[in-house]
Amino acid sequence: MRYIISDIHGQDKLLEQLLSVLEINSDSRLLFLGDLNDSRNKSYPGSFLNVYKTVRSLTDLNLAVCLQSNHQHNLQLYLERGKS
């Protein structure tokens, strides 16, 4: 099966629930369309890290591809520049 997932916004528990009902096997492919995290003021502490770990594990298994969105881009800039 093919699945398209977007706008997770740091909701790690909801992502876990979604993945638990999908029939994912070695032939499955997931496409994450970005917005894994929300703004740093809105995501629960650690929740977007859990989302990233989950998505990364799926990409490492070649089950998923993740596209970068404005939220990931902004987080990357924040981490590269430090707190401003």
Model confidence pLDDT, tens digit, residues 56-72: 999 999 999 998 877 77
pLDDT level of residue 40 (50, 70, 90 thresholds): low
pTM for this prediction: 0.80
Q: How far apart are CA 36 and CA 29, in angstroms?
A: 17
Domain boundaries, given as residue ranges, for the chain: 2-81
The answer to whether the beta carbons of residues 10 and 51 sit under 8 Å apart is yes
Q: Which residues contact 13 (CB under 8 A, 6 or more apart)?
A: 47
26-38 pLDDT, tens digit each: 999 999 998 888 7
Residue 60: both structure tokens together: 């490492």
Residue 78 has pLDDT above 60, yes or no: yes
Integer angstrom CA distances of residue 21 from 18, 45, 82: 6, 25, 38
Residue 54: pLDDT over 60: yes
